[in-house]
Copies of this chain bind each other. A is one copy, B any other.
Amino acid sequence: MSKKHPPNNEHIDSNMIKMEVNLDDISGEWLGYVMDRLFEAGANDVFYTPIYMKKNRPGILLQLLCSNGKMEKMKDILLKETTTLGIRYYPLTVHRMERRFIKVETPWGTITVKQGVDKDGEVFQSSPEYEDCKKIAENHGIPLKQVYEAVWSRL
């Protein structure tokens, strides 16, 4: 498996897997912790879904996305940090649009904005970077919402 480059501005990554674990014998406290460990170890994404399991148990479906090469590392964390003895996975393909980053000046400082550009060169997506906005909101004691709105009005 390898990364193919379509003519334009889109990457097709066929090298990804989704790993899944069902958990009904672990607390939320531990789950908050394990998510951080998996991200640190290079997971592309980690997320939880509430599920209904047998014997009236509210459980959690842990899903994570990573490249094939990270699988052993992820498995290792899942076994050590959760209560599972079985992990399932399947391959998937990811289409990723080319992204570029621009800087936007606000009254309180510069904020990076991530943009998606389509095959005709048009911007179809503009997302102010959360960590930039958060830092400004906290440092200046203003609502986060106001920071985002300031960026949007300058795009």
Contact = CB atoms under 8 A, between A and B. Distances in A.
A46 interface: yes
Interface of A: 16, 18, 20, 22-36, 39, 45-61, 65, 75, 79-83, 85-97, 99, 114, 116, 118, 124-127, 130, 134, 137, 143-145, 148-149, 152-155
A24 B27 contact: yes
A124 to B, nearest CB: 6
A118 B94 CA distance: 32
A26 B87 CA distance: 22
A130 B29 contact: yes
A93 B97 CA distance: 27
A23 B26 CA distance: 12
